[in-house]
Structure 1
Amino acid sequence: MTVKQPDLRAVRTDKAIRKAFEDMIMAGDRPIKVTELAKRAGINRKTFYLHYDTVDDLIDSYVADAKADLLNRLRKHSVDNYVRQRGLLIQVLSDFYTANQQFYAYILQLGDDTGRVRRLEAEVTEIVARQIADAEHISMDDAMLVVTFSSSTILTMLRLKTAGKVHFSVAEMQSKIAALNVGGLKAMGNLPI
């Protein structure tokens, strides 16, 4: 069996399209038009359409890449490890978000495309919850509650950190969220509860 080698020209073109797109996003260019994107990438419009159907299709490719990255990170550990090791899911999610801050910056700067990020998070949450429900013989509702609580909390806090609204280190954040998961607000120590 022969392994088909990637077309290096197509790979270079795709990198050029993505670089031009990212530069336009960071520069605040809106709306992003294929003509301008192709020009900045040093290609013609037809070449862009050989790679992507629309600019939305290009954006969706970023979301698909992030989803694949997150699922690969999650699959490195067994469901049993997630259940037994408090804070492991939070650690994996933190590592993913930290490694993909640039992706979130690009997508969230588009303004109206935050729904893509929410869909990504919802799809991954459902996949992880299904695995936990099956492995631990609990209801899907209970598994969704566990995964949603952990993932939405850490992702929200990491977004706030990226925006400069909270100043915990990632390690402090992980520790505090793990403590909250186990002990509720009493675990925070000096709170008058």
Structure 2
Amino acid sequence: MNVYDFHVRQMNGKELALSDYKGKILLIVNTASKCGFTPQFEDLEKLFQKYRDHGLVIMGFPCNQFHEQDPESNEKILEYCRSNYGVTFPMLAKTNVKGPQTEPLFRYLTNEKAFQGFHPEHSLTKVLEELLSKEDPNYAQNPDIKWNFTKFLVDRNGNVVARFEPTAGLKEVEDCIRKLL
């Protein structure tokens, strides 16, 4: 089994087979429009522009599960991302990335790559750790996505090769992408 075995919903409601992306490098990201990490859209778009001709596809999956930071409709989310951050990479339908209604793709991704821990020097690490510890003192032991802008890097064969928590620097993400080019 690999990422190509899954189907996801596009913002228009139509199903998309991830097998359509065979041979591409995928960066799958759960996103939110009203989050402290939302400015990452700009850097993700820069990565997409820089490497799309080399086979990189970034796929954004809006999610409203982390303190309701993406409550709008798919259409409004897409418009926001395009008008505020110039997003041209594919944005898919709003998705559940944790809990009992987890999208099968995200269940697979988190089973393939467990929680990596937040970057100790990031300004939001302490806030996230305190917040998550209140909800679950053992949050770090389960593989679930902890917050918006968690990223999964998939190689050209559909294998999940890396997971980046939202506090990881985009330079680290780019370095891993370049190794796969």
TM-score, length basis structure 1: 0.25
Query: Which structure has the higher relative contact order (CA within 8 Å, separation 6+)?
Result: 2
TM-score, length basis structure 2: 0.26
| Larger Cα-atom Rg | 1
